[in-house]
Amino acid sequence: MIEDAFPRNLHPYWPKLQEKTRSWLLEKRLMSADKVEKYADGLCYTDLMAGYYIGAPNDVLAAICDYSAWFFVWDDRHDRDVIHGRTASWRRLAVQLHAATEAPQLHLDHRDPLVAGFAESLERLYGSLGRTWNARFARHFHVVIDAYDQEFRNRMTGTIPSVDEYIALRRNTFAHWIWVDLLEPAAQHELPTWVRKNEAFTRAALACQDFAAWYNDLCSLPKELAGEELHNLGISLIKHEGLSLQEAIVEVRRRIEGTITDFLDAEIEVERLAAATENIGPHGKELADAIRSCMSNMRNWFSSVYWFHHESGRYAVDSWDDRATPPYITDTEPTEQTDQVGECA
């Protein structure tokens, strides 16, 4: 369905992005030099974003790619904090990220590379549009941090959320609305509320992000079962709906296919909205172009996510020495110093 209906695209700046994000990960001490050399390109983090935000200015796309790479590193730190029971370390990090979200300029030299890298990428993103967009992005990211905190508590207590609880939580841990927000700086246009809250536009945005989250669940299920994870649509279906592993895989695939259908239906309605917008005032054509840019990049998300999961070493579990420990992380027990500054690779 994806290969036929959603042609793959890559931003022409992509080859440079690989080099830039590799350098950024080293500069911000988010990955060690040997890990960057061996794994950074194969993880395909820049491929994912370069396949999504087509048309973005080069500097905006570079900031998005660095932020995305940071997000994966943060996700790995969260996982290691759970596995090693580092509750105090996680709580401290969550508080620091909340603070950096509001004032990134005050955290650029933070002693934890994860906080400093986040602040630097965020400050670049905050320079893309205006204060109202910045405030919305910050509001959405506070929710993401809180959702990660909820997942941390669930894992520490062995709580597998119900299917509905999981879907609601996943929409926040996957940062659905963050990636949708970033469509606007890519289009160089902040959308008015009446467009963003339009039923068809919202449905399309939710469909492309649910597709991404659930396809990720499908592809990462072996990795997460090996690591005794609790947060995966398949795991919730097994635990709370009594499905076998194979039945859960079939059900996740069914839901994924449903998001594709939902998007294609909503896409038609949003095009009608864009066409009608062309005649609204002197800037109608400009707004219509921005709506179409956002929709086109939502469409790109399907192919980009699909190919990312088939090409990234992040999901090549069968090739790892330890199926529960990804080789691209540095998984050493923290000393007092590293617990402060982060061993986040």
Residue positions annotated with a catalytic role: 71-72, 174, 314
Instruction: Give dist(CA 224, CA 51) in Å, integer.
Output: 25
The kind and range of the H/E element at 341 are helix 336-341
Q: Which amino acid is at 42?
A: G
What does the angle CA 141 – CA 142 – CA 147 come to, to the nearest 5 degrees? 95
Answer for the pair 319, 23: CB distance below 8 angstroms, yes or no.
no
- Say how far apart CA 83 and CA 100 lie, in whole Å: 25
Q: Name the DSSP letter for residue 319.
A: G
Closest of 60, 58, 73, 64 to residue 26, by C-alpha: 73
Distance CA 216, CA 175 (A): 13
Q: Which tokens sit at 257?
A: 């296919």
**What's the farthest any 2 CA atoms get from each other in the chain?**
62
Residue 157 backbone dihedrals phi, psi, to 5 degrees: -105, 0
Check if the beta carbon of residue 53 is closer than 8 Å to that of residue 61: yes
CA angle (176, 181, 182) in 5-degree steps: 105
Both structure tokens of 235: 């795991």
For residue 296, the tally of other CB atoms under 10 A from its CB is 15
| Residue 183: count of CB within 10 angstroms of its CB | 25
